[in-house]
């Protein structure tokens, strides 16, 4: 994993619609907040994403200076099924989380290239500082050590 190559790079611009049916532009809407962005390409990566997201949300969800977004990335072929896919996600995800789950339908090759993602079966997380720069990257299942490091970095960035 080439973490050091990503640290300090601006998170790429992604425009997607949330399950709350609002347009979200990242990293623009994350500016001013320490933000964890989780990206998954396959349904089976959800448990991996949760291993990072749950500790982050438990620690920071009630704090104004922090944000979390989850982006399921689906190829353009799935766009025709967007209504039923998003509807299924809405049914399975609590309403209060709908504004932070953004579905991206379309070509994601530019994102995987920029973010150095070479395994689409893993979940990937990126911790951004208040300017939208990547300060931490994780993938797969989070270890206890990974979680401690991510939380410590997020706390420092939020000071």
Residues 87-142 have pLDDT tens digits of 556 555 666 776 788 887 777 888 999 999 999 999 999 999 999 999 999 999 99
User: Which pLDDT value is given to residue 54?
Assistant: 93
Residue closest to 97 by CA, chosen among 53, 155, 42, 59: 53
Q: Which residue has the higher pLDDT, 90 or 43?
A: 43
- Of the candidate CATH numbers 3.40.50.150, 1.10.10.10, 3.30.70.60, 3.40.30.10, the domain formed by 3-158 belongs to 3.40.30.10
Q: Which residue has the higher pLDDT, 155 or 62?
A: 155
- Each domain of the chain, given as residue ranges in start order, spans 3-158
Mean pLDDT (whole number) for 75-88: 56
Percentage of residues in the chain with pLDDT exceeding 90?
53
Mean pLDDT (whole number) for 143-159: 95
Three-state DSSP at 158 gives helix
Which segments within the chain are labelled E, that is strand? 14-18, 23-26, 34-40, 66-74, 102-105, 124-128, 134-139
């Amino acid at each position: 994993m080439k973490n050091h190559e990503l640290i300090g790079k601006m998170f790429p611009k992604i425009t997607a619609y949330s399950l709350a049916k609002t347009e979200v532009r990242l990293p623009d809407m994350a500016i001013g907040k320490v933000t964890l962005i989780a990206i998954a390409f396959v349904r089976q990566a959800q448990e991996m994403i949760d291993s990072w997201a749950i500790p982050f949300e438990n620690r920071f969800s009630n704090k104004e200076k922090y944000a979390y977004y989850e982006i399921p990335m689906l190829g353009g072929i799935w766009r025709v099924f967007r209504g039923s896919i998003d509807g299924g996600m809405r049914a399975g995800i609590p309403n209060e989380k709908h504004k932070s789950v953004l579905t991206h339908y379309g070509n994601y090759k530019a994102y995987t290239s920029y973010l150095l993602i070479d395994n689409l079966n893993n979940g990937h997380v990126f911790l951004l500082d208040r300017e939208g720069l990547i300060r931490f990257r994780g993938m797969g299942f989070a270890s206890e050590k990974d979680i401690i490091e991510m939380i410590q970095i997020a706390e420092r960035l939020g000071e």
